[in-house]
Amino acid sequence: MSAPRYVFIVGMARTGTTLLRNVLNRSDEVGMGGESRFLVAPRLLSLHRERGFRDELREVGDLTTDSGARRVVDHIYRIRKDNFWGKIAKGADRDEFLQHLLNSDRSERALLDLALAFHARGKPIRGEKTPAHIEVVPQILEWFPNARIVHMIRDPRATFVSKQHKDGDRPSVLAPLRERAESLYELYASVRTIERWRHVISLHHRYRTQFAGRYHLLRFEDLVTDPRTSINEVCRFIGIEFTEKMLDQTVTNSSFVQGAPVGGFNAKAIERWRGILSPALQRWFRLWCGRSLREFGYRP
């Protein structure tokens, strides 16, 4: 049996990573899970330190010992959320999962690979999409040398508006600040987005040279306006056949879609931010992102 191959989708949040994952999962060759958040790194300008799931498991048990490995598996199988790890707890036999882990080299890489294999459902190419893994591409490619990285980018003004709209519908520790000082909160949130965008673009410049042939950049705007061309390019990069069913998509994770899912690729999402973002914030983004906006073909 041939060795598995891998594909990982990374980037900023709200850039279409879920859409691309759904596209690739329409292939008979690719089976990708959602967000494992296994290797998440701390972020700048955040009011709380984000930890990867690996950090959480390290506090539970040492994978190199039988007892520690069992505690880690027990911890995973207590997850009830409908997420990457919760789906494993609901869908994989616990004893079989544990035995595969015990028979491995007991590394964190082996645990992640075992989880990826579950989500692949027997398909030869496995992977996942955690946007924040843009920070740890070197480690991913060290663990999985034959992996392919697809980096999704999107106009930072659009990602900002999408995230603000999404976050407004969920509880947050920052909700009191948002309610009492909307303008101050928006400024803080915009600075975070700008800092994130500039940092991610600097990573792109490094990765495209350091990992040439294993790293591919895809603009969200190109995916939704010319999906056939964009998907063909991604398929060639990964080494799989393009199929027409990849174009059969439904928008299910948009912060602006309410009620029934919307079919197709939503090109209207590209310019929606212009009618929402205040003129002051538009100028603010142009001040700090103007050069990179032009570099990637985004209009002022």
Q: Is 90 inside any structural domain?
A: no
Q: Is 281 inside any structural domain?
A: yes
Q: Is 259 inside any structural domain?
A: yes
Q: Is 263 inside any structural domain?
A: yes
User: What CATH number does the domain containing 204 carry?
Assistant: 3.40.50.300
Q: Which domain holds residue 233?
A: 5-35+121-295
Q: Is 43 inside any structural domain?
A: no
Q: Is the pLDDT of residue 48 over 80?
A: no
Give the span between the Cα atoms of 150 and 234, in whole angstroms: 8
pLDDT in tens, 258-284: 555 556 798 989 999 999 999 999 999
Q: Is 233 inside any structural domain?
A: yes
Q: Is 210 inside any structural domain?
A: yes
pLDDT tier at 180 (50, 70, 90 boundaries)? low
Global pTM value: 0.91
pLDDT in tens, 129-165: 999 999 999 999 999 999 999 999 999 999 999 998 8
Q: Is 114 inside any structural domain?
A: no
Total domains in the fold of the chain: 1
